[in-house]
Structure 1
Amino acid sequence: MTLASALVRSGEFPYTDEDFKKIKEIVYKHCGIFLGETKKSLVYSRVARRIRECGLSDFRGYISYVTGAGKDTELPKMIDAITTNVTNFYREKHHFEHLSQVVLPDAMAMAKNGEKIRFWSSACSSGQEAYSIAACVMDNFPDAVNYDIKILATDINIDVIKRGNEGLYSAEECRDLSDAIKNKWMTETEEGFRFHKSLKRLVTFRRLNLLESWPMTIPFSAIFCRNVAIYFDRETQDKLWLRLAGQLRPGGYLYIGHSEKIPKELISSLHPCNTPTTYRKDA
């Protein structure tokens, strides 16, 4: 056995460096996520569950399956299993304060003037970010549903998209929400808290791979793309920032993660704001 095919770790299924390398290449090709050497154990534990579910006996057979007969059905499930979904309501609160104080007043005026207003939660996970945007909109613009205002929430993981669309969250997931917000926008159930239909009407959930083509034609007043680019290499990051800037309307805003940064020389029309990790496109 060569070093390249040496066992990475012992476990239920044989797992070699070559297995990890092939899975790493598949994930990078299909969703741009770069899996470093520190992710070997994570890949083992998450893919092993898929191997069991498929009734297969080893990684080699599973890799052949997801690149062959199971490309359309199993490959998305493998990507879903590997991608990490960590989120909560009003995460990085300063972005929502900026949205409420700076973005929404102008957006309201444009909506009342008959313009279409769009916001995008581009890696929405199970929906907390999108509903936080919706609550900001409704808090500042109670009759928003009477205007052409929509929030698009997308993620590569179909399971979290389904959860977001349901709009139901456990008490633990809602622990940091104030009673005022829960009383205003949610109904308590035996399973947790569910968002009111009036607020859910603003949000549309769709599966979307950020590396593939985007169907949207109306430019966005604000785009949230936070803590996603950190999983990409520099080349993929730069392509993503350029594409996102192209989706913003003049004067629109892009919110990114606290550990992310857009190179100053990359997009001349985007400028950092006083609010951390917030960029404005030239009007």
Structure 2
Amino acid sequence: MTQRDALERLEALIGLAPGEVARRRLERQPGLLQRALPQPPGIEDAAWAAVIDAVTVQETRLFRHPTQVLQFRAAALPDLARAAAARGATRLRLLSAGCATGEEAWTLAALGADAIAETGLRLGLEVVGLDLSRPALRHAARGQYRAGPPDPLRDVPPAYHAQFPAARDGIAVAPALRGRARFRRANLLEVAPDGAGFDAVVCRNVGIYLTDAARDAVARRLVAQLVPGGALLLGPTDRVPADAGMRPWTRDAVSLFRRAEGAA
């Protein structure tokens, strides 16, 4: 069996498009294929998990694309917090899908805590980060980032610097945010709807690595994670299926959508 066989299996398993990045990474670690290819593909298989760890891209940072992030904070999060309280929820629930090493999830924790404080609501906060890479998830759970270069705070507005104080060799997530995020391994092509639903789902710069069919399937599964009226924040080049029951949050919002109130 060959690298081509591996890429075809990864496409079927996790929706990965057979791009040049994946090819180069597999070429650098031929031993991974020798161990994985004789096994049936599965994300829980140790050999295939190692292949997935090798090919998944973990490009992320705190407050990545800050203009879009701050627009989400201002336009959506206070309304979502009020809606959660109005329906009797005890927590504002946010999902980072494809969370990589956790910077996006910790960004959501900082933004969510800020929005709840602004509204004055007695509301808890829960952030869930999903990813397939085991090393990335371990890094995310630690909540510690090296000083650089580049500076891990380069996109973080000064008002949020206190949430990421200096620590040994870099920065760390502030203790007040620590208990508000958790991380788990999941295939976005297969993730089932969460029983309680999320007030917002953020999935940015994941679809660019997927096939067209996988992008559509993942988008539909993410929509299914939302409570009615919930928000979906995508990357600037991502699209949501026209029949998925989503509409733009506002005319000016960048890749920010609202789930229809009547959605199941």
Is TM-score (shorter-chain normalized) higher than 0.5? Answer: yes
SS of residue paired to 2:12: helix
> What CA distance in whole angstroms lies between the structure 1 residues aligned with 2:121 and 2:132?
27
Q: Is the 8 A contact 2:84 2:199 kept in 1?
A: no
> What CA distance in whole angstroms lies between the structure 1 residues aligned with 2:221 and 2:193?
12
1:24-63 equivalences in 2 (<5 Å): 24-36=7-19, 39-45=22-28, 47-48=29-30, 51=31, 59=33, 61-63=34-36
Structure with the bigger RCO (C-alpha within 8 Å, sep 6+) is 2
- The amino acid that maps onto 1:152 is V
> What CA distance in whole angstroms lies between the structure 2 residues aligned with 1:243 and 1:201?
26
1:21 aligns with 2:22: no
Q: Is the 8 A contact 2:116 2:123 kept in 1?
A: no
| Pair 1:201–1:72, CA change in 2 (3 A) | same
1:102-141 equivalences in 2 (<5 Å): 102-113=75-86, 114-115=88-89, 116-141=91-116
Q: Is the 8 A contact 2:193 2:225 kept in 1?
A: no
Q: CA deviation at 1:208?
A: 0.9
Q: Is the 8 A contact 1:34 1:231 kept in 2?
A: yes
| Pair 1:204–1:39, CA change in 2 (3 A) | closer
CA RMSD of aligned residues (A): 2.6
1:191 aligns with 2:169: yes
> What CA distance in whole angstroms lies between the structure 2 residues aligned with 1:263 and 1:110?
25
SS of residue paired to 1:275: coil
Q: CA deviation at 1:282?
A: 1.5
- For structure 1, the 5+ residue unaligned runs are 1-17
More displaced, 209-218 or 223-232?
209-218
Fraction of identical pairs, as percent: 24
> What CA distance in whole angstroms lies between the structure 2 residues aligned with 1:196 and 1:101?
22
- For structure 2, the 5+ residue unaligned runs are none
1:34-183 equivalences in 2 (<5 Å): 34-36=17-19, 39-45=22-28, 47-48=29-30, 51=31, 59=33, 61-67=34-40, 72-113=45-86, 114-115=88-89, 116-142=91-117, 147-172=123-148, 173-176=151-154, 177-178=156-157, 180-182=159-161
> What CA distance in whole angstroms lies between the structure 1 residues aligned with 2:37 and 2:226?
40
- The amino acid that maps onto 2:126 is K
Deviations for 1:211-244, whole angstroms, at most 9, x for unmatched residues? 2242621111111011112222222222222221
Q: CA deviation at 1:126?
A: 0.4
| Pair 1:146–1:263, CA change in 2 (3 A) | closer
- The amino acid that maps onto 2:143 is G
> What CA distance in whole angstroms lies between the structure 1 residues aligned with 2:52 and 2:140?
18
Q: In the comparison of the two structures, how many residue pairs are matched?
A: 252
Structure 1 length normalisation: TM-score?
0.79
- The amino acid that maps onto 2:183 is F
> What CA distance in whole angstroms lies between the structure 1 residues aligned with 2:121 and 2:171?
22
1:171-250 equivalences in 2 (<5 Å): 171-172=147-148, 173-176=151-154, 177-178=156-157, 180-182=159-161, 184-214=162-192, 216-250=194-228
> What CA distance in whole angstroms lies between the structure 1 residues aligned with 2:44 and 2:83?
44
| Pair 1:255–1:19, CA change in 2 (3 A) | same
- The amino acid that maps onto 1:89 is L
Structure 2 length normalisation: TM-score?
0.85
Q: CA deviation at 1:262?
A: 2.4
Q: Is the 8 A contact 1:126 1:164 kept in 2?
A: yes
Deviations for 1:136-156, whole angstroms, at most 9, x for unmatched residues? 122233499963321111101
| Pair 1:29–1:80, CA change in 2 (3 A) | same
> What CA distance in whole angstroms lies between the structure 1 residues aligned with 2:117 and 2:129?
20
More displaced, 168-177 or 30-39?
30-39
